[in-house]
Amino acid sequence: MKKILIAGNGVASASALKVLLHEKEIHITVISPEFYPASYKPLFPLISCGKLESYETFLLQPEDYSGENITFLPGVRIEKLSASKRVAYLSDGEEVEFDTALIATGSRVYIPEKFEKGNQRYRNVFTLDTIEEALDLKALIEEGAKNCVVIGAGRTGVNLTNVLANKGINVSLFEKENQILPGLLDNDLSTFISEKLQEKGASVITHPKIKKISAADKFVESISLEDGTRIPCHLVIIATETIPNIEFLEGDFTFAKGLIPNEYLETQESGIYAAGDVVQFLDFNGKRKIQKLAVNAWRQGEIAARNILGERVKCPLSFTGKYVKIDNIFAGYFGERDGTDYFDFSTKNNIVRFTLEGLKITGLQFLGTVEKITELARTGLNRFDTKFIPDEIKKQTTLGFPVFNWHQKLFDF
């Protein structure tokens, strides 16, 4: 019987398990640092704000892990995975042998040392990477935490600021660049979102230079900046760039900013596959990027699992794009933001900005209500020769815009 190891228990693992759980002639071992079933991380902020129960974020149910062909090992992580010996060495001292493996260990936020004491993170510092963290944050909010510093104004930081500000929490949003959403929007478009957050009472602080963290009893109490500002905080959320969890791999793997598998998602080590945030894959513009999107993790998990079972399925090009939603306003990008030129279609407070590389459209940015940006995108595309519009862009704009039903729950609140 073929022994399959699944490293990690997140989005890519859940989608792989949905394929593998029906197979009788295999045995699956899932290594999970968390005790919960695989869950959908983008929804964790809603657990903290009391809008969702933990179980509502589950991608699989507890009973999915109790079949005869699966061993679920919660509360442990892989310390080392030897490709040549086909053994995973776990944090509890156990070893798991395997024939085939799926590396689906995702990515994590880097926590600067100043937010730790003796290698332990202060207790009110969060990354919202696990349900446990989401519940700890919820408990502090229920105890009356009122002031929060969110570090990093990317997709996660801005969405969190919005959710927390709606809850009446005073949020100070730190961003090291000179604008919020620097990876998503041009400066002029991001200003609109920044103003929306400020209308809700959030403070947006660009280029913050942290001078001192004051803490007592394992809790951060305030953050002082070099310009003399002292920001009291009951909560700190770090939402900066993430790094892939691949340090434990020992073998002949090709890395850049993530693992680089072939089109079947198999790494250079035969029989060892990779999916999700650990992977750098090609997008529809032919660029190799680390996308860190749930939708890619889900698709890749399924494809890796089918290939593990002996199919030869090529992984489709990755989706590149991110967006935030503030009330009824969507803002974000899809594809490329840098090109040789750009072209705007706008009405009051609604805009679609196409990125051009020569005559070809390589991406677009958008800001506005779904109805308006859909309309603007369609009108805009009609002005271009269809041969210069990649299929991915046609697909997104003809199905409605933006089409990310996948995590609709996130925006139902």
Ligand X SMILES: Cc1cc2nc3c(=O)[nH]c(=O)nc-3n(C[C@H](O)[C@H](O)[C@H](O)COP(=O)(O)OP(=O)(O)OC[C@H]3O[C@@H](n4cnc5c(N)ncnc54)[C@H](O)[C@@H]3O)c2cc1C
Contact residues: ligand X, CB under 6 A: 7-13, 31-34, 41-42, 44-45, 77-78, 104-106, 128-129, 155-156, 245, 248, 276-277, 292-295, 297
Taking the complex as a whole, how short is the minimal distance between the CB of residue 41 and ligand X, in angstroms? 3
Taking the complex as a whole, how short is the minimal distance between the CB of residue 292 and ligand X, in angstroms? 5
Shorter beta-carbon distance to ligand X: residue 44 or 253:
44
Q: Which one, of 321, 367, 371, lies nearest residue 346 by Cα?
A: 367
Shorter beta-carbon distance to ligand X: residue 148 or 215:
148
Shorter beta-carbon distance to ligand X: residue 40 or 345:
40
Shorter beta-carbon distance to ligand X: residue 104 or 189:
104
Distances (CA, A) of 294 to 41, 208, 242, 264: 8, 30, 14, 19
Distances (CA, A) of 326 to 131, 133, 155: 24, 24, 11
Taking the complex as a whole, how short is the minimal distance between the CB of residue 211 and ligand X, in angstroms? 27
Tell me how far apart the alpha carbons of residues 198 and 209 are, in angstroms, rounded to a whole number. 20
Taking the complex as a whole, how short is the minimal distance between the CB of residue 387 and ligand X, in angstroms? 30
Beta-strand runs (E) in 245-377: 249-250, 272-274, 281-282, 288-289, 321-326, 329-335, 341-347, 350-357, 360-368
Taking the complex as a whole, how short is the minimal distance between the CB of residue 358 and ligand X, in angstroms? 30
Joined together, the tokens standing for residue 283 give 């997008």
Shorter beta-carbon distance to ligand X: residue 105 or 365:
105
Residue 68: how many other CB atoms lie within 10 Å = 7
Taking the complex as a whole, how short is the minimal distance between the CB of residue 8 and ligand X, in angstroms? 3
Beta bridge partners of 216: 219
Q: Closest-CB residue for ligand X?
A: 10
Residue 151: how many other CB atoms lie within 10 Å = 25
Tell me how far apart the alpha carbons of residues 360 and 394 are, in angstroms, rounded to a whole number. 13
Supply the DSSP symbol for 383. T
